Amino acid sequence: MLEKLGESAFTTLGFFWKAGWAFVLGYFISSMIQAFVPKDKLVQYMGEANLKSVGQATLFGVISSSCSFAALAAGRSLFQKGAHFVPTLAFLFASTNLVIELGILLYIFLGWQYVLAEFIGGIVLIFITWVLVKWTYPEKLVKEAREHSEQENTGESVNWKEKIRSREGWYEVGHQFMMNWKMVWKEIVIGFTLAGIVATFISNETWKSFFLVDYQDGILKLLENVLVGPLVAMLTFIGSMGNIPIATILASSGVAFAGIMAFIYSDLIVPPIIAVHKKYYGMKTALYIAGIFYGSIVVTALIMQVGFQQLGLLPKATREIMDESPFKIDYTFWLNLVFLVIAFIGIYLNHLFKKNDVKHSMMKMEGDSKAKTIITYCCITYLLIGFITKVVQ
C-alpha cells in the first residue's frame, strides 16, 4: 500500500512537471489578452441568434480565455446586458475549451490529433448547440433567467492601444496572471492528484470493462463510450484542465477516441458548474443548459470519431502513463526553467500592480468553496506523504 502511495504521488508530480511550462505559457498569454482586449462592448455583437453573432461570440470566448467559473461570470454579465441566449452559450464553451492552454496540454499528454479534434469539434459542438436551442428554444425559461440574473459593473472602456503602451497595462497583465492561477490552482491540484491515484490504484482492466474496450467494435460500443464519457467527467467534479491527465489514462486503457473527446468536452456539465448556473439563472435553466450541452457533446464526439476515421487521423497508438522518468534533463526541463522566469515576471508585475494601487474592476466569480479548499489541502498532504514514502523507499 505504501509503495502504491509513493507511486501515485510520483505520477502526479510527473504530470505537474510535464505540464508546468504549458500552464505558465498559456496563462501568461491569456493574461495579456484579458488585460488588453476590451470586453465591455462585446455584448453589442451578441444580440441575435444568427451565424454572425454566434461566430463573434465564439471568437470573443477564445480571446477571453479563462477557467470555467470565470467564464460563467463573464457569460452571465453579457447575458444580463442583452446578449442572446445562444451566443452566450457559444461564448461559455469557447472560453473554456477553445483556448491556448488547453491545446498545449492536449498536445503534451495526448498528441496533435486531440488538439485538432478539440478545436474542430468545439466549433461543431457550438453549431449543434445552436441548432438544438433553436429547435427547443425555451422562451419562458430565458425570460425567467434574465430576471434571475443580476447586474454586473464591468468598468469603463479603455483604449487598448494606449493601454498596451502603459506601465499600468503591464502591471494588470501580472495581476491577471496571478488571478488566473488563483482561480484554477485548486482545480489543477485536485485533478492531477486524482489522475495519479487513478493511474496507480485503478487497473486498465477496470477501465476496459467500464468502457467495453474488449467487446467487438461497433456502433453500440461507440455509443456507450460517448454516453459514459461525460458521466465520468461529472464524477470527477473538475474542469478540462484538471481532467487532461485522466483523459490520458482513458486513452492508454483503449477507450474509443470519441469517448475520450466526450470526456474532455464535458467541463461545463460537472455538478459545480450546474450549481453556479442554478444560482445565476435558476434550476430549470441550469438543467436545460446541461442537457443541451450533453446532447451536443454526444453528437459532436460521434462526428469526430467518424470524420477522423474517414480521414485516417485517428491516433494509431495510445501513450503509456509515465513509462519513463519525467524528471530527466530534456526539453521539458529547459522549458520549465525558462517559464519559471516568466512566472516570476508575472508575480513581480502583480506586485507593482498592488504597490501602485492600479484601478481595475474584477467581476465576482462563483464556484470556490470551503469544501474545495479542504480537499485541495488534503491532496497536498497526500502528495507530500507519498513523495516522502517514495524517497525513503
Mean pLDDT (whole number) for 172-193:
84
Lowest mean pLDDT among 11-15, 81-85, 236-240: 236-240
* Spatial CA neighbour of 75 closest among 123, 67, 30, 128: 67
Distance CA 21, CA 12 (A): 16
What string of H, E and C letters represents the secondary structure of 317-345? Answer: CCCCCCCCCCCCCCHHHHHHHHHHHHHHH
Cβ atoms within 10 Å of 330's Cβ, excluding its own: 9
pTM given for the model:
0.79
Q: How many CA atoms, within 13 angstroms, populate the side-chain half-sphere of residue 196?
A: 25
The predicted structure's pLDDT at residue 276:
81
The predicted structure's pLDDT at residue 207:
85
Mean pLDDT (whole number) for 61-76:
73
Q: How many CA atoms, within 13 angstroms, populate the side-chain half-sphere of residue 336?
A: 15
Residue with cell 515576471: 345
Mean pLDDT (whole number) for 161-184:
84
Lowest mean pLDDT among 85-94, 187-196, 323-332, 349-358: 323-332
Distance CA 78, CA 87 (A): 10
Lowest mean pLDDT among 108-122, 229-243, 312-326: 312-326
Distance CA 265, CA 260 (A): 9
pLDDT band at 301 (very low <50, low <70, confident <90, very high): very high
Q: Is the pLDDT of residue 80 over 80?
A: no
